[in-house]
Chains A and B, each alone.
Chain A
Amino acid sequence: MNFPLLSAIVLVPALAALAVAVLPRSRDDVVRVVGVVATLAVLALTVVLVVEFDTADAGFQFVSRHRWINDFGIDWALGVDGISLWLVALTAVLFPIALLGAGPTRDVKSFTAWILVLEAACLGSFLALDLFLFFVCFEIVLVPMYFLIAGWGYENRVYAALKFFIYTLAGSAFLLVGMLSLVFLHRAATGDLTFDLATLGESTAIAASTGRWLFLAFTIAFAVKVPLFPLHTWLPDAHTEAPTAGSVILAGVMLKLGTYGILRFSVFLFPKAAVDLAPLLLTLAVIGMVYGAIVATMQADLKRLVAYSSVAHLGFIVLGTFAFTSQGMTGGVVQMVNHGLSTGALFLLVGMIYQRRHTRQIAELGGLQKPAPVLAAVFLVVMLSSIGVPALNGFVGEFLVLAGTFVTHRWWAVVGVSAVILAALYLLWAYQRVFHGEPEGDNATMRDMDWREGLVMAPLLVLIVGLGVYPKPMLDRIEPSVARLVQHVQDRGDLKTPTVEAPQPDPAPGAEP
């Protein structure tokens, strides 16, 4: 294919951001149109990408590669495989929704420009095949998000934005040093200075003990982003103080940079170390799942509750990744998409409630079902998807993760299941307190969802139900790449294949291929 599809996907929002930056401040209408058109154009390109994607090919497709900085062997290298494909798709879906559903109330121009920069950087991170390019995109993501939180957030926004920035930057310190060490060790062994992911992944230059250090260096950076217990403390602040669009993107897309990074870089580059250190990561993941769920139960602020539920849900993804089974990893990838959809939708809904009631305190809400039945219904569906109820998307991912983990790491899976039950507890309890009962005061007169908000939520609902009932197109594209990665880990990581044969997944009723 001659058309540089992936470069276009990354560059369209970047160029649109530049266009917005030069537009006059008074033309908010034009700015809004440019923003929406650019994000929709990315979505259209992504649809083409998903359709054209070859399900039989487990490797990177649509690769485009240009020399960037010659002295360091750095390339502008983009490519997509079954793992990154769905994260790109998720990004492409969530950005127009965030822009349409939770657009800015003031300073439209800067907001739109930052959102577009953010989209370009996120897409660049997911598509990069060059370590340097990935790092650059991974870092630049912080800047627009910092401005979105600090500029359009709630009361405590400056503190939250700064905490978020410094935390992540400190994590990246280890990533950069680890990355450079890997590259130079590779060069010392082969004489070839390159930042190319595939070449470095196949490199045998790294001794096992060195690999373990490098794995830790990479993983700390990603663990901050995920966030993995105990590095999660920035997340509740950032999520709560961010404007709705910021929370949607932060939870929906940016946390996935961490889990994606672990999968794509930590595990792929250092399979042996990943296998050796898997018990540590699995334990932290399980602690995060249970801890996040318990803390979420205690929250008085609805948005903070959703934020802590992210800590719990992201633990699932890490659990699936370090199970090193095809099901577990596939489940992890599916769960990345699911979490993006359902948590993104939850943040949008919380934003709608806040916009109407100017409070997020659960105690001050109540009985909202009466005045706003549609909002309540949508909330219910999204919440059930987040809990992981069958026939909705959350179930597919959680089931695969737990099934995949059970085979190799039984006890972690057993403890992990309790997080599913806790999720039901805190989400249903919150739903009950917010929507059930008799509405009092302002609650009784709350406006229901209007058609525009409904239109924004509709695609999310369609995807939540659609992927829950018929996940096959998604799984078909994920599985070859995941199988290849698992094979890579088994070959290079001295991993013994599980003695118990894994049961075939039964994702959802009526979803049999």
Chain B
Amino acid sequence: MIAALTTASAAIAAQTGQTPLTVSVPPVEYSTILPELVLIGGALVLLVSSSLIGRRPPRGFYGLFTLVVSALSLVATASLWADIVHLGPSTAISGAIAVDGFNVFFKVLVASSLALGCLVAEPYLRREGLEGPEFFVLAMLSASGAMVMAAANDLIVLFLGLEILSIALYVLAGFHARRVESREAAMKYFVLGAFSSAIFLYGIALVYGATGSTSLPAIAAFLSRNLPAETGVLYAGMALLLVGFGFKVAAVPFHTWTPDVYQGSPTPVTGFMAAVAKAGGFAGLIRVFMSSFPTLRLEWKPILLVLAIATLAVGSVLAVVQRDIKRMLAYSSVSHAGYVLIGLQAASSKGVAGSLFYLLAYSFMVIGSFGVVTLVGRPGDADHDLDAYRGLASRRPGLALAFAVFLMAQAGVPFTAGFLAKFYVLSAAVESHAYALAVVGMLMAAVAAFFYLRVIILMYSPPADDAPEQPRLVIPVSLGAALGVCLVFTVVVGILPSPVIEFAKRATLLL
């Protein structure tokens, strides 16, 4: 049968003068993508089982399930890390997946963000009457997309990860469907995100056209041997890729969706989005530019420098005038993207390590911050004016203290992870002689301190006399646990950062 087919196709080939078309299925090393598979499998199991079992599961089951799945994913990541330590970095599935420390670093970041995000979201969904498995299914899928982005060693796989991440996030942004703001956020995010995906895809096409490959090492190898005659196509492709990434990480001038989407999305989603989407975007950005275009760094470094300065300035300055805490944190997340870009534009392993450290520290600070905002937003998720924070310290001193620590960490106060993160990226900038950029970064930190401190001082000032009597905020156990983990991480890493620095360094050395 097969022989007959082969002869038949050979006959066709002989007739048309073409070689026979064969599809080779590459070997799939499932162990190297186990963390992603755990998340996707968990999502499917949750989706299917909850549809099959009609009965409503015990309270908090979905959240707990997601927590277990993300823990399993972390375990799988740990075993991957052990392999890498023993056998060194490698590629899998015909070179489409890079198995290295960089990949593992982002997997750890994403899995822990997922776990923390679910702890924050679980009580929120109950409070808002949105209980159900869908939220957690989407969160797991979205996280798996971010992991694929970090692992991708090929532009097509990268795009695949980007879409898995984004599409789930579009739905999550509109999850609080009764709130018109949430629907609006989903719509905006989706339309703009679809545009950015298209631009990104066009960038892939142009890079493929210029270099003849979508595999990142192949592109690098091609560029190290010869500079293509049509540099315009290559540069245009690079620029379009940068636009796509810039959109995901909310770098100026591709940040305009950020305030509206951050404000409108359900608050736990905002925290999750800030941590995971930024991480995924930066994972792709770092991987593509550091491993595919290192020979062109003289071309892209100045662009990143300008982007970094613009991002820092716009993010910090516009955050100052916000009255809505979620908008303020949205602009502050823009400025944080600027700091990560500072490390990146150094284009050195130290700079990348700084950026990775920054992203990890930021994900804990931002999930913690939005965790507090979730709680203070009260039922309806609408109480996000800065005045809602007036006198918080006298009502819930622990909560106010936690928020104060998260905000100070974001401002870069010493003995928090945020300070060391800034220190790390700025030292990389200084080492690469970008003194002006480092000074701008520090001055913008001073500007940013203004709006972080404004919230802190509101929390610690006495409650307004005419404030309506409101029921005491109850801190749900899971939310409290998430805040505790974020708080401990922020402070402990701020005092003893060496293990995390070591991890970030190894993640870049193996890049």
Contact = CB atoms under 8 A, between A and B. Distances in A.
Residue of B408, B457, B505 ringed by the most chain A CB atoms within 10 A: B457
A353 B426 CA distance: 48
A23 interface: no
A177 B498 contact: no
A139 B442 contact: no
A256 B156 CA distance: 60
B41 interface: no
B317 interface: no
A96 B423 CA distance: 34
- Which label, helix, strand, loop or mixed, suits the secondary structure of the B interface? helix
Interface stretch (A37-45, A162-170, A292-300): A162-170
A166 B316 CA distance: 13
A173 B439 contact: yes
Given A177-B439, A177-B442, A184-B430, A69 B453 contact: no
B443 A162 contact: no
A322 interface: no
A173 B442 contact: yes
B387 to A, nearest CB: 15
Contacts of B457: 150, 158, 161-162
Contacts of B415: 136, 140
Nearest to B415: A140
Contacts of A174: 439, 442
Nearest to A136: B414
B317 to A, nearest CB: 13
A180 B430 contact: yes
Contacts of A172: 442, 446
A72 B438 CA distance: 18
A161 B430 CA distance: 31
A176 B440 CA distance: 12
Interface string B449-461: 1100110010011
A70 interface: yes
Contacts of A184: 427, 430-431
Residue of B414, B431, B435, B454 ringed by the most chain A CB atoms within 10 A: B414
Contacts of A277: none
Contacts of A161: 457
Contact of B426 (A139, A162, A169, A176): A176
Interface in B166-181: none
Contacts of A169: 445-446, 449
Contact of A177 (B413, B426, B461, B502): B426
A254 to B, nearest CB: 16
A150 B426 CA distance: 30
A152 B463 CA distance: 15
Contacts of A143: 408, 413
A71 B505 contact: yes
A177 B426 CA distance: 8
B498 A166 contact: no
Given A170-B443, A173-B439, A176-B423, A69 B501 contact: yes
B498 A70 contact: yes
B480 interface: no
Contacts of B427: 72, 180, 183-184
A147 interface: yes
Contact of B453 (A25, A72, A139, A162): A162
B413 A147 contact: no
Contacts, number: 77
Nearest to A121: B414
A151 interface: yes
A360 to B, nearest CB: 23
B446 A71 contact: no
Contacts of A162: 450, 453-454, 457
A146 interface: yes
Contacts of B89: none
B450 A166 contact: yes
Contact of B449 (A25, A137, A166, A177): A166
B430 A146 contact: no
Residue of B426, B435, B442, B445 ringed by the most chain A CB atoms within 10 A: B442
Nearest to A72: B427
Contact of B446 (A72, A135, A158, A170): A170
Interface string B364-407: 00000000000000000000000000000000010000000000
B497 interface: yes
Contacts of B501: 69, 71
Contacts of B505: 71
B101 to A, nearest CB: 15
Interface in A119-171: 135-137, 139-140, 142-143, 146-147, 150-151, 158, 161-162, 165-166, 169-170
A122 B320 CA distance: 30
A181 interface: yes
Residue of B426, B438, B501 ringed by the most chain A CB atoms within 10 A: B438
Interface in B441-477: 442-443, 445-447, 449-450, 453-454, 457, 460-461
A289 to B, nearest CB: 28
A72 B353 CA distance: 13
A173 B443 contact: yes
Contact of B430 (A71, A166, A181): A181
Contacts of A158: 457, 461
A147 B498 contact: no
A137 B415 CA distance: 9
Contacts of B442: 172-174, 176-177
28 contacts: A69-B498, A71-B501, A71-B502, A71-B505, A135-B414, A136-B414, A136-B419, A140-B414, A143-B413, A147-B460, A150-B457, A158-B461, A162-B457, A165-B449, A165-B453, A169-B445, A169-B449, A173-B439, A173-B446, A174-B442, A176-B438, A177-B426, A177-B430, A177-B442, A180-B431, A181-B430, A184-B427, A184-B431
Given A72-B427, A139-B414, A169-B446, 10 more contacts: A71-B505, A140-B413, A140-B415, A165-B453, A166-B449, A173-B442, A174-B439, A176-B438, A177-B426, A184-B430
Q: State the 3 A-B residue pairs at the shortest beta-carbon distance, nearest first.
A: A173-B442, A180-B430, A169-B446
